[in-house]
Amino acid sequence: MNKGRKITGGKYHANRKKKFYEKQGQEREVTLKETKRKSLRVQGGNKKTILLNANEVNLVINGKAKKAKIKNVIETPQNIFHARQNRLAKGTIIETSEGKAKITNRPSQEGCVNAVLIKE
C-alpha cells in the first residue's frame, strides 16, 4: 500500500498546513548535571517551567519530604540506554545521598524531580 496515494496512483494533497499549536515541540530530556531550568510560553499565554538538568531531588521518606543529592542513575525501565546517559524520567531508579529512590513525576514537564525512597 502506498501511503498518501489514491488507487489510481494520484496523490492526496493536504487541505491545510499545521497550526502553531499542532507543531511538534523540541524533545526535552533531563540529565544529571547542575540544576538548570527554562520557562516556556504555552497555550493561553501561560508559563511552564521545565527542567533541563538536575542534581537534587525532593525525596519522600516515611511521609516526610526532604531534599537530597542525586549521585547516579541506576536503571531506567523505559529505555536501558537512558541509564548510561544519566537521563532522568518517570520510573527511573536513582541513587541518592539517602539511598535508592524511584522518580514519581515527569521532570521534563515540571520544574523539579520528586521521588520516593525504596525499601531494601
- Residue-wise pLDDT for 65-112, tens only, equals 999 999 999 999 989 999 999 999 999 999 999 999 999 999 999 999
Residue 104 contacts residue 24 (beta carbons within 8 Å): no
Residue 18 within a domain: no
Residue 15 within a domain: no
Residue 62, amino acid: N
Q: How many CB atoms lie within 10 A of CB 51?
A: 21
CATH number of the domain encompassing residue 68 = 3.10.290.70
The model's pLDDT over 18-74, given as tens digits with 9 standing for 90+, comes to: 898 888 888 889 999 999 999 988 889 999 999 999 999 999 999 999 999 999 999
Residue 81 within a domain: yes
* Predicted pLDDT at 71: 95
Residue 48 within a domain: yes
* Predicted pLDDT at 2: 73
Its pTM stands at 0.80
Residue 61 within a domain: yes
Residue 8 within a domain: no
Q: How many CB atoms lie within 10 A of CB 115?
A: 25
**Total count of domains within the chain:** 1
Domain that holds residue 108: 28-117
Residue 92 within a domain: yes
